[in-house]
Structure 1
Amino acid sequence: MALPSHLDRFNRRHPWSHNDHYGPWAAARVAESGARHVLDVGCGTGNLAALLRRRTETVTGLEPDPATAGAAAARFADDPAVAVHTTGFAGRDPRRRWDAITLVAVLHHLPLVPTLRELRDCLTPGGRLVVVGCFRESGPADLLAALPAMVANPVMGLVKHPARADAPPVNMTAPTADPRESLAEIRAAAARELPGARIRRRLFWRYTLVYDAPAAGDRA
């Protein structure tokens, strides 16, 4: 059996969330911006929302998958500062603006350019957008950059989930989709729609994007 097949079977037996790995990083980027009211798009079962709640005043979570949204809503049932809505980004309150918006492994589910524009318009003056995203590998450079992740992934699985799993944990059962855009295409779109956005390639097949909207006095 080929090595990739062996690795895939091993990783399924010792699952861990690449997205949750970046949760503390995303929450820290929000906190350092001074955001008080945060929108978490595609909140899943609420792992990032829980981190954000410790460092902000309110968190609004959007999750289109009913079962996943139900788990998140139950988790925060006794916390009036966290609201979870069973809807995607299109179902947000169109009148509302947020101090910060987070998306973790969500942007590739949505049309890239229109969504970047809408995200920009949903920020308050000086607000911050924080994205942990997935991209389509295209070319030798991406394959070479993925090699450290291929080596580190099973090690992390053993550390985080040493016992063999019969099924993935609940927070890893939401619907998934393959990324459509390459990292180069995402960089180009962000340069047009989010001037000044900082994008970095990250380990475990992810990239990060941080964009700060102009302050009130800087808007054209």
Structure 2
Amino acid sequence: MASLSRLDRFHQRHPWSHNDHYGPWVVRQVTAAGARHVLDVGCGTGNLSALLRRRAATVTGLEPDRRTARAAAERFADDPSVDIVEADFAGRDTQRRWDAVTLVAVLHHLPLVPTLRELRGCLSPGGRLVVVGCYREAGRVDLLTSLLSALAHPVMALVKHPARAAVPPAHMTAPTREPLETVDDIRAAAARELPGARIRRRLFWRYTLVYDAPAEPGTA
């Protein structure tokens, strides 16, 4: 526990976002699917939405926190292709479908099984769901991955944020919640709701999930 406390103090002095670290990877998955219209659930201040906008025609960002949503909206005020909506996932336009849907460190805030089912319904035929999520550690594999993450974290911190910070960046002040589901729980839920989803453990206490919705019959 003392080592974790020291790691946390080091992270406060040299803050870098585990979520932003996976932003380029998310964009590559979305781009590979040929997505033009993307829904970014829990967009925060818009870091991922900005990356997605470089590759997509339109990005709709959902953010339930009023102050954060306003900051994101101001960021994209001059870009009509990015629409920031002050709403949680339940407040989305339920009649619309997107070519890709992204969630980064969001899914563990929502009920897993019904949310996966609703996410599937958000996708256009052939659309892609890309998730970077948090999980509850359980077992030796998770322990080993956590150890590797703890060893790599200070190196990444010094590379990404070598100067000491007085306060954490605004995009790293969102409320957090401990995940309830293990990777096995997530795999089991995805097997029921998202057949064919690819799930992998990742460094820095994250997992990734990629799911491709079936294409329309007769589509190559």
* TM-score w.r.t. length of structure 1: 0.97
Residues 167, 218 of structure 1: alpha-carbon distance in 2 compared, 3 angstrom cutoff: farther
Counterpart AA for 2:182: S
Tell me, yes or no, if structure 1 residue 82 matches structure 2 residue 82: yes
Aligned to 2:95: 95
**SS, match of residue 217 in structure 1:** coil
Distance in 2 (CA, whole Å) between partners of 1:181 and 1:218 is 38
Distance in 1 (CA, whole Å) between partners of 2:3 and 2:113 is 37
Tell me, yes or no, if structure 1 residue 132 matches structure 2 residue 140: no
Counterpart AA for 1:105: A
Residues 175, 16 of structure 1: alpha-carbon distance in 2 compared, 3 angstrom cutoff: same
Counting aligned pairs with the same residue, the percent is 74
* TM-score w.r.t. length of structure 2: 0.97
Residue 218 of structure 1 deviates from its aligned partner by: 7.4
For residues 106-136 of structure 1, give each alpha carbon's deviation from its aligned partner in whole angstroms, at most 9, with x where no partner exists. 0000000000000001100000000000000
Distance in 2 (CA, whole Å) between partners of 1:112 and 1:2 is 32
Aligned to 2:153: 153
8 Å Cα contact 1:135/1:207 also seen in 2: yes
For residues 61-111 of structure 1, give each alpha carbon's deviation from its aligned partner in whole angstroms, at most 9, with x where no partner exists. 000111111111010000000000111000001110001000000000000
Counterpart AA for 1:148: L
Counterpart AA for 1:64: P
Aligned to 2:108: 108
Distance in 2 (CA, whole Å) between partners of 1:3 and 1:83 is 42
**SS, match of residue 217 in structure 2:** helix
Aligned to 1:162: 162
Aligned to 2:48: 48
For residues 155-207 of structure 1, give each alpha carbon's deviation from its aligned partner in whole angstroms, at most 9, with x where no partner exists. 11111111111211011111111101001000110011000000111110111
Counterpart AA for 1:134: C
Distance in 1 (CA, whole Å) between partners of 2:141 and 2:29 is 28
Residue 140 of structure 1 deviates from its aligned partner by: 2.7
Residue 7 of structure 1 deviates from its aligned partner by: 1.7
Counterpart AA for 1:168: P
In the alignment of these two chains, the number of paired residues is: 219
Q: Which runs of 5+ in 1 are unaligned?
A: none
Distance in 2 (CA, whole Å) between partners of 1:5 and 1:101 is 35
Aligned to 1:120: 120
Distance in 2 (CA, whole Å) between partners of 1:46 and 1:136 is 26
Distance in 2 (CA, whole Å) between partners of 1:77 and 1:137 is 40
**SS, match of residue 108 in structure 1:** helix
Counterpart AA for 2:132: V
Q: Which runs of 5+ in 2 are unaligned?
A: none
